[in-house]
Amino acid sequence: MKDPYLQENTGVLKNKLGISNYDELILAEKDITFSKLINAGHTLNTRFDVEYFKSIHKHIFEDIFDWAGEFRKVPIEKEEVVLPGLSLQYADPKDIPSKLKMALDKMNNTDWDSLSLEQKSSEFTKQLANLWLIHPFRDGNTRTTLTFATIFSREHGFPMDIGSLLNHLFRVTDENGKITRFSIRDKFVLAAIPEEYMPEPEHLTYLIHKSIVSGISKKIEHLQKTLNNSAPSTNANSKQDDLEK
């Protein structure tokens, strides 16, 4: 089936930037989307439904793709390095809305407050992997899922540090091209493998847990600074005492 999202001569995704080289497009995406990833929680309303998920993708990629925020209309396969060379089975285009709604409903109906930090990390990883496996967009699914996860977790009392996750967004290779660190997308792949083929969610769980711990620590530090800044100074107290004498 012909992919309408690709440029015919280059096989690169059609884009608003007029870029026809794959590596150049990847670099441009990094530059343009980074700030969008960081400030998404400050610019979007928090309603954790299908339309909200679409709005996150649109926010991140609207400067790059005409179809930002729109579900893909073609089936996709991606050869995964960690499988190796095989593809996961992503949702058929006609099933995307219903599967996405089902995944989000489950997430919204989970009693997150009743879970310990370790349980939250494990359950959140499992549900995020299921959400990610739908792959509702032609490109940008991992970044959209991470942004959604960061906002959702913050609103439910276990804030994630998106900075620690973005550090793992891309693979790291040595001077010989050998992979020295796999990307967070690779870890999503391992977590999303069907049960019968023995998934490995522990790699993604580790990053999610680490991000939650960092996020909670930063929230505590912020609260402490706020309290310290709002506390009356010693000099102010002394002046007040002098006035009362």
CA 65 to chain centre: 19
Task: Give the model's pLDDT for residue 226.
Answer: 83
User: What are the CA-CA distances from residue 146 to residues 165, 197, 231, 235 (Å)?
Assistant: 8, 25, 36, 46
- pLDDT at position 243 is 45
Distance CA 82, CA 185 (A): 10
**CB neighbour class for 30 (10 Å; exposed up to 12, middle 13-18, buried from 19):** exposed
- For the CA atoms of 35, 36, 40, 42, the dihedral, rounded to the nearest 10 degrees, stands at 50
Can you tell me the distance from the alpha carbon of 140 to that of 131, in angstroms, rounded to the nearest whole number?
Answer: 13
Query: Which helix or strand (DSSP H or E) is residue 132 part of?
Result: helix 117-134
pLDDT mean values, one per 10 residues, the chain (245 residues): 91 96 95 85 78 95 97 96 94 98 98 97 98 98 95 94 89 94 96 94 97 93 83 56 50
Burial readout 130-158 (b: 16 or more C-beta within 10 A, e: otherwise): bbbbbbbbbbbbbbbbbbbbbbbbbebeb
Domain extents for the chain? 33-229
Which 3 state secondary structure label does DSSP give 183?
Answer: coil
| pTM for the full predicted model | 0.89
| Chosen CATH of 33-229 out of 3.40.190.10, 3.40.50.300, 1.10.3290.10, 1.10.240.10 | 1.10.3290.10
